[in-house]
Structure 1
Amino acid sequence: MRAAAPTALALLISCTPAPRDAAPPAPSVAAAGPTPPIIAAAGPTPPPSCARRTAGPAPAPLDPTHAGSGVALADLDGRTLAFVADEDDRALHTVDLDARAPLARTPLAGRPAQVIVLGDGRVVASLRDRGLLEVLEPTGAAAPLARLCLVPVASEPVGLAMTPDRATLLVASRWAPALTSFATADLRRLGELPLARDPGAVVASADGRRAFVAHAVGGRISVVALGDGGAPTSARELPTDGVEWRPRAALSKISSWVAPPVPSGAARSAPAGRKGLRAVQAPAPVRVDRRGSQGFALARAANGAVFAPIALVDPGPGTNSGGYGAARAQTAIDHIAVVDPMGERADVPPVSTHLGTQGCQLPRAAAIAPAEEVLLVTCLGRDEVIAYDARARIPGQTKAAGSARDRELYRARVGSGPTAIAVDSARGRAVVFTRFDGELTILPAARAPTSAVIRGPRKELSGELPVVVLPRASRLDEQRAEGQRLFHAAGGRRIAFDGRACASCHPDGRDDALTWSTPEGPRQTPVLMGRLDGTAPYGWEGDKKDLEGHFARTLSRLGGAGLTAEERDAIFAYLRAMEPPVGAADLTAEERAAIVAPPPAGAAEAGAHAALAARGEALFNAREAGCSSCHVGDELTTDGARHDVRSATRFEAARAFDTPSLRFIGRSAPYYHDGRYPTLLALLDGVDGTMGHTAHLSAQDRRALVAYLESL
């Protein structure tokens, strides 16, 4: 019959916008011309090298925790430089922070996710769309960086970090989930360890014996042991799921005063001086189990503790609901998990108060001002930076049951799309990259700043934050730029009544690995990247013939105020521009010449896996298996029909489900319309006779079928 009710559609995409309108960089900023040949054309071709080639002063990295970010700070001859990874411009920008002036723009071989400055002044950028690291060298503060070499790494490298001795570079890759380590001296690969899906940010422990890796979905933090040589050897996963104690209504007449939850059987009394309130017996608060999500950021404190800003999500009871998630409740709330220095546990205490729609639902970057012990978190969609007290046991939860207004120090309003932050401790400032605007914002990194436009529950200050506009040579067209902004718009009520953004459930246009309560029953989040066109009808029930109708129903169920047709089409244009990352094999001749220290060929292992996948493809298309009767065409998308595969439960409103596309299926666990199968192998073992026929296959043939599906 057909393969699979539900698989979350795609998985990670390097959320990279497609075509762009060219625009020349500002003439006052040095820009790199045509890429010079990296290898001499005449005579024997020397092997490429990542070593420094320029004598003289080199930038000294300023981050004491040696963590990468979209912004890396360094000191060069008394000047503070910022190297900015601009994914939308496919370039690194060099900015003089003291003069607040852009100095140079260096085009790269791909879209940089993060950048880090090595101990000897070389600069490394992770190219998330190419499966490469690009190593560069400053030749002068005002000149574009010299491009030294390209280093292959697992597909979609995102997070970068160094060990405290600066001898080992750690790289977290999302598309092919892994942590890879390199020797910083020559970028020689030391080892690679597969991880759970969607790893992103990474930071090394203070003793250099382990690495902490955040996962964008799945609600976990990986603690990876590093061997004596720096190679990753094993990983443990710490859950970041949490609990919220939601108070029941306990007062009559006036409900503006809400006391902290009290033990069952105790009485709650009104504060002195309050009129119109009468004490009543306080019913026991309601326990709500929440799933960790949006794990994009990590920051390590001086004491070794690692802070992980996350969202805690209530996807509902797993049955039916009026929308997506619990009915009329705050579905996603902001929180901060704290991992102890030894990586033994992730402390996610119960939540008793939260900021509702004003919380940081899409945290994307974090940094610590060590002298002030302030944790700074960038909030995508709200265009804010929130400062938390890093001295607290759990920043953002300073009291067991305090006011939501006590959960932060202050907020700073910044430009659109804050995706990166770095701290200059010596000068008491932080630098924020706002990707959608293409700007750097400089703000004070202090517990009680005395100037700048900073707003929040505790501070109302006046002034103006310094802003540096980056001289981009390319940018998103107007429609896609608007779609990018709307897709990440959090905190308002146009998309959802509780402030959720599109990116709350579809980070980077992919899926959140969650199963939500819906009016039809439990439904897994589908991936959007690569799935908008050619996959009609829409919805797990296949009851919407066009994308516009499906989108309208989604907003209705989210309780959003709505968008205009032009805004809706802008979101569609933004999503259609998304493409999956490619591997390091897709290189130009010039790029191949710049490859250094390629990974071991592993020809025998690669050949065996290719043969296994080829066997799986033959099985997939065999009449006996029946997979290709529903998943048809080159893209293995859909037959456009609904099928009853005997998967409906008592919570289902319908028994037949739409045939999903299999594109990127290997990167979208869990599987089925309700996420009941954690792996593809478990799915094949569980659906024989209802979705194709697999019981007759040997264990090896089932592994072959999985290998083929994972290659799609």
Structure 2
Amino acid sequence: MRAAAPIAVAFVLLACAPGPRDPAPAPHAAPAPSAAALAPPPPAPLCARRGAGPAPAPLDATHAGSGVALAGLGGRTFAFVADEDDAALHTVDVDARAPLARTPLAGRPAQVIVLDDGRVVASLRDRGLLEVLEPVDPGAPLARRCLVPVASEPVGLAMTPDRATLLVASRWGRALTSFAAADLRRLGELPLARDPSAVVGSADGQRAFVSHAVGGRISVVALGAGGAPTSARELSTDGLEWRFQPLLSKKPMPSAFPSDPPGPRAQRAVQRPPASRVERRGSQGFALARAPGGAVFAPIALVDPGPETRGGGYGSARAQTVVDHIAVVDATGERADVPPVSSHLGTLGCQLPRAAAIEPGEEVLLVTCLGRDEVIAYDARAQIPGQPPRVGPVRNRELFRASVGAGPTAIAVDSARRRAVVFSRFDGALTILPASRDPGPTEIGAPGKRLVGELPVVVLPRASRLDAQRAEGQRLFHAAGDRRTAFDGRACASCHPDGRDDALTWSTPEGPRQTPMLMGRLVGTAPYGWEGDKKDLEGHFARTMSRLGGTGLGPDERDAIFAYVRGMGPPAEAAVLTAEERAVTLAPPPAADAAEGAARADLAGRGDALFHSSEAGCSSCHLGDELTTDGARHDVRSATRSDAVRAFETPSLRFVGRSAPYYHDGRYPTLLALVEGVDGAMGHTAHLSADDRRALVAYLESL
């Protein structure tokens, strides 16, 4: 009986307890927190925007980067200026015409672009990095967010139309890389031909157009899902010139379109002698601009390097060697329109175009001309393929010109206010000019209308700059249109863009000769010239000036050019990071890419051993750790009927992988063709397997 009492009590308690369908929690008890709620919030992505306030809105209508990027905030327009010589980004109030802040960067910026959320991305060409920054206050330096590894020497920047993908063209690394704009995660990378420079996305987001500084080509890159580059094909920007002899009669004749080929044109009033057809090579492909309709404009130089024989100088004797021109790629990227030329502006042309932008409302194409220190405005409507050409010479497509500071290398357009902002690198200054078909007061001069009156100028407060001698050498090296260097206005940079080579073979008194690279090849490589007949740089320079037929440069000017070129260095293959930089740098590429890089390094190591083997014999002439030269001349049985000599000096192999084509006359388009073609004449390669030859090429490309 005693046992029944607790059981009865238990039943009573159960009867009084609430049932499962009638919960009655304490009225003031809070629910237990979940494990997720107890965990700390995840950190924001390293490159993400962190500010909560209003962000500057990008003003680039065609989503293209430049050395100047414009953004609007609170009714004001700001410019972010990539100053390569100062290794900094400058913030400028365009409306007040006042510099606001200077932000030191981790390297030397080539271009800058503003993302949709206000973050600013700069391409650091000397370090193989992108730097992501965030404006926090218009009057303060930008806040550094992260560094992003990319292929060597990133220069060109662009966004796809949906602003979701950032495109980066790397010149030294010969690649186009795409990143997700939200977190700068790498989406893909595609190898391209040498020296990719500017990039713009197509209006439909399915392609990217990439110009090449040398080689006369534009790459049309297909973009896959998410904006990753998948494949590329090349369009040529080479062109033709029809050279007409003087008329046989003084009678008037009908005017002709400049693109008309010679031939039986409708009962001419007088008989014209036959015209000569001259093939010109596209060069100086540094700039691109996309029109609202989708056509892409590529200001270029068309170069006549002369016949593949001996000549009196460098190129065709007493002909205009460099002609300014504009190639146009249709919106679908199917073809490049490079109309023939039969007239040009001589030394008044834009021989060194460096940047371009379009005012979309009035379709005015603006091009900066290095050396001439001008911006030329063109009628973009007259250039689009499929439209009838305008009557008259090519220069009639020009609307007006404006003088700007020395070294104009970047331009951006504020379409809402019909104005453009130009950065002149040598002077470290911005010029603000109209971007309209009716720009205001002009005067007629040579070759057309010029803006009159003073344009607003903003001088940037630089913390560092080139020393006086190198700064003077920089100006002289790019002095296009100046007859001191050449009779036809060529500049040193016409054949040696950025101190490198133009990938062309020129007619010379000794025969056809390929342009050598200057950067990194002046020290320890004497004697100079393909024939090795000049023991010092001064003698070689004097002969070059004589053949160019200019009025001449003084010793101080010559030494300034030497100082400028000697100061040029190659961009870093891979960024060497400080401890502070490693903390803000995105993770390296995926393991698959790392494995590919390791395999490439192994292949190059195998090629190194082959190069220095006695069987191949390469290192008997190319000496030392830096593979400079033995300073001797050798007859390697390469002379042709056009060559005045049979022996040639051993060239330096520094950066040989970036200087195609090869041999003194440029006969080999690739290093593999060279390795396979020189057996017995220059080393021994016939005994090598195909894998060994590829290994040797991999080693040469690593130098």
Do both share a fold (TM > 0.5)? yes
Shift of 1:252: 5.9
Secondary structure in 1 matching 2:453: coil
Q: Provide the C-alpha distance between the structure 1 equivalents of 2:443 and 2:128, rounded to a whole number of angstroms.
A: 39
1:30 aligns to what? none
Q: Provide the C-alpha distance between the structure 1 equivalents of 2:452 and 2:564, rounded to a whole number of angstroms.
A: 36
2:76 aligns to what? 79
Q: 1:649 aligns with which of 640, 654, 664?
A: 640
1:365 aligns to what? 355
Report if aligned partners of 1:482, 1:570 keep a CA contact under 8 Å in 2: yes
Q: Provide the C-alpha distance between the structure 1 equivalents of 2:585 and 2:44, rounded to a whole number of angstroms.
A: 9
CA deviations on 1:362-409 (whole Å, 9 max, x unpaired) are 0000000111110000000000000000111359x9846623541311
1:226 aligns to what? 223
Report if aligned partners of 2:353, 2:369 keep a CA contact under 8 Å in 1: yes
CA deviations on 1:85-112 (whole Å, 9 max, x unpaired) are 0000000000000000000000000000
Secondary structure in 2 matching 1:617: helix
Does residue 1:550 correspond to 2:540, yes or no? yes
Q: 1:470 aligns with which of 460, 470, 477?
A: 460
1:256-405 correspondence to structure 2 within 5 Å: 263-264=262-263, 280-393=270-383, 399=389, 402-403=392-393, 405=395
Q: 1:557 to 1:267 in 2, by over 3 A?
A: farther
Q: When the two structures are superposed, what TM-score results if normalisation uses the length of structure 2?
A: 0.91
Q: 2:649 aligns with which of 642, 654, 658?
A: 658
1:614 aligns to what? 605
Structure 2 counterpart of 1:370, one-letter code = P
Q: Provide the C-alpha distance between the structure 2 equivalents of 1:233 and 1:431, rounded to a whole number of angstroms.
A: 34
Q: 2:572 aligns with which of 573, 582, 590?
A: 582
2:34 aligns to what? none
Report if aligned partners of 2:222, 2:232 keep a CA contact under 8 Å in 1: yes
Q: Name the stretch that deviates more: 256-265 or 615-624.
A: 256-265
Report if aligned partners of 2:352, 2:480 keep a CA contact under 8 Å in 1: yes
Q: 1:449 to 1:398 in 2, by over 3 A?
A: farther
1:98 aligns to what? 95
Which stretches in structure 1 are left out of the alignment for 5+ residues? 1-42, 270-278
Q: Provide the C-alpha distance between the structure 1 equivalents of 2:527 and 2:162, rounded to a whole number of angstroms.
A: 55
Report if aligned partners of 1:626, 1:693 keep a CA contact under 8 Å in 2: yes
Shift of 1:453: 8.8
Structure 1 counterpart of 2:601, one-letter code = A
Q: 1:697 to 1:71 in 2, by over 3 A?
A: same
Which has the higher Rg, Structure 1 or Structure 2? Answer: 2
Secondary structure in 2 matching 1:684: helix
Report if aligned partners of 1:125, 1:133 keep a CA contact under 8 Å in 2: yes
Q: Provide the C-alpha distance between the structure 1 equivalents of 2:450 and 2:398, rounded to a whole number of angstroms.
A: 14
- Using the aligned pairs only, state the percent identity: 81
CA deviations on 1:609-651 (whole Å, 9 max, x unpaired) are 2111111111111111111110001110000000000000000
Q: Provide the C-alpha distance between the structure 1 equivalents of 2:374 and 2:628, rounded to a whole number of angstroms.
A: 40
2:116 aligns to what? 119
1:107 aligns to what? 104
Q: 1:149 to 1:454 in 2, by over 3 A?
A: farther
Q: 1:561 aligns with which of 540, 551, 566?
A: 551
Report if aligned partners of 1:443, 1:452 keep a CA contact under 8 Å in 2: no
1:212 aligns to what? 209
Q: Provide the C-alpha distance between the structure 1 equivalents of 2:410 and 2:371, rounded to a whole number of angstroms.
A: 13
Q: Provide the C-alpha distance between the structure 1 equivalents of 2:654 and 2:451, rounded to a whole number of angstroms.
A: 50
1:692 aligns to what? 683
Q: 1:405 to 1:297 in 2, by over 3 A?
A: closer
1:672 aligns to what? 663
Structure 2 counterpart of 1:438, one-letter code = G
Q: 1:689 to 1:247 in 2, by over 3 A?
A: same
CA deviations on 1:24-43 (whole Å, 9 max, x unpaired) are xxxxxxxxxxxxxxxxxxx9
Q: 1:567 to 1:80 in 2, by over 3 A?
A: same
Structure 2 counterpart of 1:677, one-letter code = Y
Q: 1:405 to 1:627 in 2, by over 3 A?
A: closer
Structure 1 counterpart of 2:278, one-letter code = V
Shift of 1:319: 1.1
2:14 aligns to what? none
Secondary structure in 2 matching 1:334: strand
Q: Provide the C-alpha distance between the structure 1 equivalents of 2:251 and 2:473, rounded to a whole number of angstroms.
A: 42
Q: Provide the C-alpha distance between the structure 1 equivalents of 2:486 and 2:255, rounded to a whole number of angstroms.
A: 25
Shift of 1:267: 8.9
2:473 aligns to what? 483
Secondary structure in 1 matching 2:398: coil
Report if aligned partners of 1:357, 1:498 keep a CA contact under 8 Å in 2: yes
Report if aligned partners of 1:47, 1:596 keep a CA contact under 8 Å in 2: no
Q: 1:588 to 1:345 in 2, by over 3 A?
A: same
Q: Provide the C-alpha distance between the structure 2 equivalents of 1:537 and 1:677, rounded to a whole number of angstroms.
A: 24
Structure 2 counterpart of 1:75, one-letter code = G
Which stretches in structure 2 are left out of the alignment for 5+ residues? 1-39
Report if aligned partners of 2:253, 2:270 keep a CA contact under 8 Å in 1: no
Secondary structure in 2 matching 1:74: strand
Indicate the structure whose relative CO is greater, using CA pairs within 8 Å and at least 6 residues apart. Answer: 1
Structure 1 counterpart of 2:662, one-letter code = Y
CA RMSD of aligned residues (A): 2.2
1:417 aligns to what? 407
Q: 2:432 aligns with which of 434, 442, 445?
A: 442
Structure 2 counterpart of 1:553, one-letter code = R
Q: Provide the C-alpha distance between the structure 2 equivalents of 1:374 and 1:324, rounded to a whole number of angstroms.
A: 36
CA deviations on 1:343-374 (whole Å, 9 max, x unpaired) are 00000011121111110000000000111110
Q: 1:682 aligns with which of 665, 668, 673?
A: 673
Question: How many residue pairs align between the two structures?
Answer: 660
1:605 aligns to what? 596
2:47 aligns to what? 50
Q: Name the stretch that deviates more: 434-443 or 401-410.
A: 401-410
CA deviations on 1:116-151 (whole Å, 9 max, x unpaired) are 000000000000000000000000111100000000
Structure 2 counterpart of 1:681, one-letter code = L
Q: Provide the C-alpha distance between the structure 1 equivalents of 2:281 and 2:370, rounded to a whole number of angstroms.
A: 20
1:9-48 correspondence to structure 2 within 5 Å: none
Q: Provide the C-alpha distance between the structure 2 equivalents of 1:257 and 1:570, rounded to a whole number of angstroms.
A: 50
Report if aligned partners of 1:352, 1:400 keep a CA contact under 8 Å in 2: no
Secondary structure in 1 matching 2:225: coil
CA deviations on 1:271-310 (whole Å, 9 max, x unpaired) are xxxxxxxx75211221111010000000000000000000
Q: Provide the C-alpha distance between the structure 2 equivalents of 1:453 and 1:133, rounded to a whole number of angstroms.
A: 43
Structure 2 counterpart of 1:494, one-letter code = R
Shift of 1:78: 1.1
Structure 1 counterpart of 2:432, one-letter code = I
1:114-153 correspondence to structure 2 within 5 Å: 114-153=111-150
Q: Provide the C-alpha distance between the structure 2 equivalents of 1:220 and 1:185, rounded to a whole number of angstroms.
A: 32
2:200 aligns to what? 203
Q: 1:240 aligns with which of 237, 241, 250?
A: 237
Q: 2:418 aligns with which of 418, 423, 428?
A: 428
Q: When the two structures are superposed, what TM-score results if normalisation uses the length of structure 1?
A: 0.90
1:532 aligns to what? 522
Q: Provide the C-alpha distance between the structure 2 equivalents of 1:458 and 1:343, rounded to a whole number of angstroms.
A: 32
Does residue 1:163 correspond to 2:160, yes or no? yes
Q: Name the stretch that deviates more: 645-654 or 575-584.
A: 575-584
Secondary structure in 1 matching 2:611: helix
Report if aligned partners of 2:295, 2:384 keep a CA contact under 8 Å in 1: no
Report if aligned partners of 1:336, 1:394 keep a CA contact under 8 Å in 2: no
Q: Name the stretch that deviates more: 590-599 or 142-151.
A: 590-599
Report if aligned partners of 2:513, 2:664 keep a CA contact under 8 Å in 1: yes
CA deviations on 1:569-608 (whole Å, 9 max, x unpaired) are 0000000000100133411111111111431143432222
Q: 1:448 to 1:456 in 2, by over 3 A?
A: farther
2:499 aligns to what? 509
Secondary structure in 2 matching 1:696: coil
Structure 1 counterpart of 2:88, one-letter code = A
CA deviations on 1:673-709 (whole Å, 9 max, x unpaired) are 1111111111011000000111111111111111111
Report if aligned partners of 2:249, 2:271 keep a CA contact under 8 Å in 1: no
Q: Provide the C-alpha distance between the structure 2 equivalents of 1:266 and 1:65, rounded to a whole number of angstroms.
A: 41
